[in-house]
Structure 1
Amino acid sequence: MSGAAARAARSPIAWLLTLAIVLIALNLRGTIVAVAPVIGPITSDLGLSTVVAGLLTSIPVLCFAVASPLASAVIARLGAERAVTISLLGIVAGTLLRSAGSSAALIAGTVLIGVSITVGNVVVPVVIRRDFAPERVGIVTGIYTSALNVGSMITSLGTAPIAEATGWPIALVVWGAFAVIAGVVWCASVGVRSALLGAPTLGEGPQDLVTGPIEVITASIPVVRAAATDATETPERRSLFRRWSTWGLTLAFAGQAFGYYGLTAWIPTLLHSEVGLSAAGAGASSSVFQILAVVGALGVPVLALRWHPVWIIGLVGLLWLVMPLGLLFAPHLWLVWSLFGGVAQGGGITIVFIIIVRMATTDVEARRLSALVQGCGYALASLGPLVVGGVHGATGGWTAPMLVVFVSVLTLGVSGVLSARRLR
């Protein structure tokens, strides 16, 4: 292909890839959040206990922890393209199984969704690092994390009204359509790239991620070559485990995710009991917490162009602290506190992913660091819905649960600042 023809091909490929990433992201949180607005009908119809009901949100997060090493291995063996496809297929299958109408199918489908999303969690940041120039990684990461929260917002708003009209099983099934659409666009982006630029296709294995080099084109962005690396480079792995910054970032991510999932699971219940909102109204109001994350997710990359990450993660931590304290002392002002918390949680996950990219020196290290931070972080975060719900059940109020969330997001700020100090 001539230089002019290649340049002409770059823009549509870049836009198609960006669209695919956005559509994939819609499925990586919304499928989990969809359960919260209809947890009451599910519990009533299937006779679930409070603990089991809390597990419906905790299981996928626990899968993020347990299945992260498996996800990393799948990506290394099959390649990024196949890994994304497997993730989306698993989400569709799990969504259908979860809505079959029995408690066993509900749990099994939730586990399948959790494992499938884990693969997507690990592979998408690696794809972004691989396929976009360094100066564009921040903004693409912001777009990706924004889409995560838009997916959560859509399901928070739509699940309860759909359930009132059709029942909770159909209300959960309909969100599987997002995964189908994302799969079609993703496969189209891979096919177009292969046809126009001769890049690897779905059937060409793992060399796109682990060995190379690979040329990836983005709109108005220089071509990036992924450095050739050895997937079995043990000194690199050993050094990763020995760094304080690795474990500090893991703890920061755990604090962020613990607070996010703990609040996401129980905000509708809190607003229903403390403010008097209806079930549908509480579910819709909690979507404010999700949609405001777009501001943080897109704002953090802009700040990262001028600010050191240590200042950004410190600011995010301060904003995060406002929400649990506000809900504790003035729950009727939930909208105000949701503004702060929404911006903070969107910015929190974005700055952690940006730090991962800046810490990593190779694609292999990026994959390993992403898997380690998310795996260990989500292991702790999976306790969020259970601990918040358990403390609420034990105390009969919301003071102690909000203090638990306060400690978790304080951990994000302190540990994040300490781990990011030595970054460029």
Structure 2
Amino acid sequence: MSTPTTEALKMPADQTAAVPRPWLLLLGLVLVALNLRPALSSMAPLLGQVSHDLGLSGSTAGLLTTLPVLCLGLFAPLAPLLSRRFGAERVVLGILLVLAAGIALRSQLGVVGLFAGSILSGASIGIIGVLLPGIVKRDFAKQAGTMTGVYTMALCLGAALAAGASVPLAEAFGHRWAMGLGFWVVPALLAAVFWLPQTRARHGAHHARYRVRGLFRDRLAWQVTLFMGLQSSLAYIVFGWLPSMLMGRGLDAAEAGLVLSFSILVQLGSSLIAPWLATRGRDQRIAIVTVMGLTLAGLFGCLYAPLGGLWFWAVVLGLGQGAMFAVALTLIVLRASDAHVAANLSSMAQGIGYTLASMGPLAVGLVHDWSGGWNAVGWIFAVIGTLAIIAGMGAGRSLHVNVTSEKI
């Protein structure tokens, strides 16, 4: 059965009106993408202070880092439904405003506002994240690969800026963590201003619909989905918990945030290079093992190695995770026989994968609560990494998912 996400991703470029001022659309896309990670990565450096001030246990803090990631998967199916009703451009604008409201809310009203705002933020990111690739495919069909790279780099840059700047911002406003979190309303509203002209552009609405059968019964599709979810789980553990782990080893909050920010910045380069390298061989299995090995080495180095080499391990972690995310996205395209199958596989990998990924940050919080420290968290890294390699060895084979795509 065709999923709603399919309809949001497959509108062909030749059935749309010419895009007025494409440079303005490009700028708008970059600014919107920059706002799809700060709500996630700004919390991590301030989590210790937030937990202390609000009396959150490790398990509750783990839930706080889990909820936004869970919402990425749970709310993604709303995107195409809203898009068909109001148009993709208008939905992006409206959801940007909801995102800004969520960011503002989590810095107000104590624990209730913190969790409600986190849910709103995660839901908003999940919806926009489904719509932007469809807009890229529709309006930049001939430059889709390049634009996807630009989109990925903007995601990483936004995450890095929030991870590195949140603590200094909180300190600048009188050591108030609420200001460090709430500041990210500003770039969200700025993106909304630059996106506003796109809501007046006219795009053709008529397009053929396709049904893809058998995806959820296909073993390869599940391997792609599991690899996406498991590697994302490690990524969101880093977003949510790495600064707390480093502070547990003796770093202050500002330095711990800078380490995370620096590691994410390293991802900018590897996320661009990895897809090209991964497609040079017969399949992607060697690439998957390599990038997961780098990721695990970086995680274990940050957790256990002497602090004198911390920045080196942050580089290794960034190289691994940037490449791993890019390879996971590439697998969706390579394992699909046509664009319609790719859209359905993307929907499956994103919805189920991100829901699975949300369990990683929660597990870290529970284990930290149980053990009273961070050393036992290494077992979580090892288990997730091993399972990701197993799934990746299947997903990396040079095959297509065995499904049928038919016009309805």
Taking structure 2 as the reference length, the TM-score comes to 0.85
State the distance in 2 between where 1:84 and 1:395 align. 43
Alpha-carbon contact 2:19-2:139 (below 8 Å) kept:
no
**2:256 maps to which residue?**
282
Q: For the structure 1 residues 14 and 69, does the alpha-carbon distance in structure 2 shift closer, same or farther, using more than 3 Å as the test? A: same
Equivalent position amino acid for 1:118 in 2: G
1:82 and 2:56 aligned = no
Residue 385 of structure 2: SS of its match in structure 1?
helix
Equivalent position amino acid for 1:147 in 2: A
Residue 214 of structure 2: SS of its match in structure 1?
helix
1:115 and 2:123 aligned = yes
Q: For the structure 1 residues 406 and 141, does the alpha-carbon distance in structure 2 shift closer, same or farther, using more than 3 Å as the test? A: farther
Deviations 1:205-252 (A, max 9, x none): xx2xxx43xxxxxxxxxxxxxxxx31xx44x1x322222222111100
**2:167 maps to which residue?**
160
Q: Give the superposition deviation at 1:309.
A: 5.7
State the distance in 2 between where 1:412 and 1:295 align. 22
State the distance in 2 between where 1:383 and 1:129 align. 31
Q: Give the superposition deviation at 1:34.
A: 0.8
Partner of residue 185 from structure 2, selected from 164, 173, 176: 176
Q: For the structure 1 residues 266 and 168, does the alpha-carbon distance in structure 2 shift closer, same or farther, using more than 3 Å as the test? A: same
**2:351 maps to which residue?**
375
Q: For the structure 1 residues 246 and 267, does the alpha-carbon distance in structure 2 shift closer, same or farther, using more than 3 Å as the test? A: same
**1:216 maps to which residue?**
none
State the distance in 2 between where 1:146 and 1:50 align. 32
Equivalent position amino acid for 2:258 in 1: A
**1:21 maps to which residue?**
29
1:300 and 2:289 aligned = no
Q: For the structure 1 residues 190 and 421, does the alpha-carbon distance in structure 2 shift closer, same or farther, using more than 3 Å as the test? A: farther
**1:217 maps to which residue?**
none
Q: For the structure 1 residues 182 and 307, does the alpha-carbon distance in structure 2 shift closer, same or farther, using more than 3 Å as the test? A: farther
State the distance in 2 between where 1:420 and 1:33 align. 29
1:102 and 2:110 aligned = yes
Q: For the structure 1 residues 406 and 16, does the alpha-carbon distance in structure 2 shift closer, same or farther, using more than 3 Å as the test? A: farther
1:317 and 2:326 aligned = no
**1:51 maps to which residue?**
59
**1:70 maps to which residue?**
78
Q: For structure 1, which runs of at least 5 residues remain unmatched after alignment?
A: 1-8, 213-228
Q: Give the superposition deviation at 1:253.
A: 0.9
Q: For structure 2, which runs of at least 5 residues remain unmatched after alignment?
A: 1-16, 401-408
Alpha-carbon contact 2:237-2:364 (below 8 Å) kept:
yes
Partner of residue 400 from structure 1, selected from 369, 373, 376: 376
Q: Give the superposition deviation at 1:254.
A: 1.1
Q: Give the superposition deviation at 1:10.
A: 8.2
Alpha-carbon contact 1:28-1:121 (below 8 Å) kept:
yes
Equivalent position amino acid for 2:106 in 1: R
The CA RMSD measured in Å over matched residues stands at 2.5
Deviations 1:348-392 (A, max 9, x none): 222222332344566654443322211111111111111112212
Q: For the structure 1 residues 13 and 346, does the alpha-carbon distance in structure 2 shift closer, same or farther, using more than 3 Å as the test? A: farther
State the distance in 2 between where 1:383 and 1:74 align. 28
State the distance in 2 between where 1:176 and 1:338 align. 28
Partner of residue 255 from structure 1, selected from 209, 230, 233: 230
Alpha-carbon contact 1:313-1:416 (below 8 Å) kept:
yes
**1:5 maps to which residue?**
none
Q: For the structure 1 residues 154 and 137, does the alpha-carbon distance in structure 2 shift closer, same or farther, using more than 3 Å as the test? A: same
Alpha-carbon contact 1:313-1:351 (below 8 Å) kept:
yes
**1:151 maps to which residue?**
158
Partner of residue 93 from structure 1, selected from 89, 97, 101: 101
State the distance in 1 between where 2:76 and 2:306 align. 36
State the distance in 2 between where 1:416 and 1:86 align. 37
**1:271 maps to which residue?**
246
Alpha-carbon contact 2:229-2:357 (below 8 Å) kept:
yes
Q: Give the superposition deviation at 1:411.
A: 3.0
Q: Percent identity?
A: 37
Taking structure 1 as the reference length, the TM-score comes to 0.82
State the distance in 1 between where 2:22 and 2:333 align. 20
Q: Give the superposition deviation at 1:113.
A: 0.7
1:385 and 2:393 aligned = no
